[in-house]
Structure 1
Amino acid sequence: MLDQLIKLVQRNAENDINNNSAIPDQYNKEAVNIVGHEIFTGLQNEGKKGNLTGLTDLFKGNNITGNNPIISAIISGVTTKFASKFGISPQIATQVASVLIPKVMNQFVNKAKDPNDKEFDLQDILKDLGGAGNIGNLIGQFTGGGKGGGLGSLGGLFGK
């Protein structure tokens, strides 16, 4: 999943990283890798903490903005790394991350929900994020746990 995330960030980094004069060109690839790693680590940490509700809401496409605590934490992680590694101001780093992270996360969630898009497999994502003990609960929330409260057609994604 990490490699696919980095590729997704690369496809979205043109204006926010590659053409951004605040990030020196020699750091573009490293900046893209940082964003991908921070997204992956941030989501994985939420799964390990047992924040199944937050992850479920996120993958339903609810509030994929800087107002979401999960997205906010990822933005914060990227901001800290950009400021320390590239010597840019925290304000500029926050501006970059605040635009790029929600954009990438929206695409990531849409790809994960799309049964015709093979780039991100929802079942693999849930395994990566949910941890061994939580995966059943997380899958149950996505599929509705037999109560009709899940994502409806997303249950069919597990055959992908």
Structure 2
Amino acid sequence: MFEQLLSLVKENAGNDIINNNAIPNERNDEAVETATQSISETFQNAIQGGNVNEVMQLFNNGGGNTSSLALTQNMQGNLIERLMQKFGLSNAQAGGIASSLIPMVLSKLTHKTNDPNDGSFDLSSILSHFGGGNFDVGSVLSQFGLGNNNNNASDNKGGGLGDVLGGLFGK
């Protein structure tokens, strides 16, 4: 899962990291990995901390504007802190990167997860990976009305994950 997420961040890091003069070119890979770790750890903390609703709100969004979500803001704060520490960036520089890159990556991630023609990410795998070994994905998916036939974007029975989650969150 980390490698898939790393690839997604790398695909979207162009202007924010790769073409950013504040980050030396020889450290671009390190900056991309730092952004990926920020996203991963925030997902992990949310799921393992019992804030699955925050994660489900993100995936209900279907790739739309993710900037206002608490989970997105937590990821941005995490990344800002790391960029300042590791790369000596100012708060404004790090904030500019985080406020552009994180919502873009999350939008692409949720779009891919909700797209029945794209099997690169699915909600069940994301919850399982970031939930840890003792996390009961089936139980969580059941709480949100997602049975065995509706637990990921690649299994699009009954209208798909976006439709199920949209009904749950009143959209």
Partner of residue 70, structure 1: 71
Structure 1 residues 117, 89: closer, same or farther in 2, change over 3 A?
same
Structure 1 residue 126 corresponds to structure 2 residue 133:
no
Partner of residue 57, structure 2: 57
| Aligned-pair Cα RMSD in Å | 2.1
Structure 1 residues 5, 120: closer, same or farther in 2, change over 3 A?
same
Partner of residue 158, structure 1: none
In terms of mean alpha carbon deviation, does 122-131 or 29-38 score higher? 122-131
Kindly report which structure 2 residues correspond to 1:37-52, keeping only aligned pairs within 5 A, or say none: 37-52=37-52
List alignment gaps of at least 5 residues for structure 2.
Answer: 148-157, 163-171
Instruction: State how many pairs are aligned.
Output: 150
If each structure's helix is expressed as a fraction of its own residues, which one has the higher value?
Answer: 1
State percent identity of aligned pairs: 38
Asked if 2 retains the 8 angstrom alpha-carbon contact of 1:17 and 1:32, the reply is yes
Distance in 2 separating the partners of 1:118 and 1:144: 17
Kindly report which structure 2 residues correspond to 1:143-154, keeping only aligned pairs within 5 A, or say none: 143-144=145-146, 152-154=159-161
Please give the TM-score of this superposition, normalised by the length of structure 1.
0.84
Distance in 2 separating the partners of 1:113 and 1:104: 14
List alignment gaps of at least 5 residues for structure 1.
Answer: 146-150, 156-160
Structure 1 residues 7, 133: closer, same or farther in 2, change over 3 A?
closer
SS at match of 1:3: helix
Asked if 2 retains the 8 angstrom alpha-carbon contact of 1:43 and 1:55, the reply is yes
The structure 1 segments of at least 4 consecutive aligned residues displaced by more than 6 Å after TM superposition are none
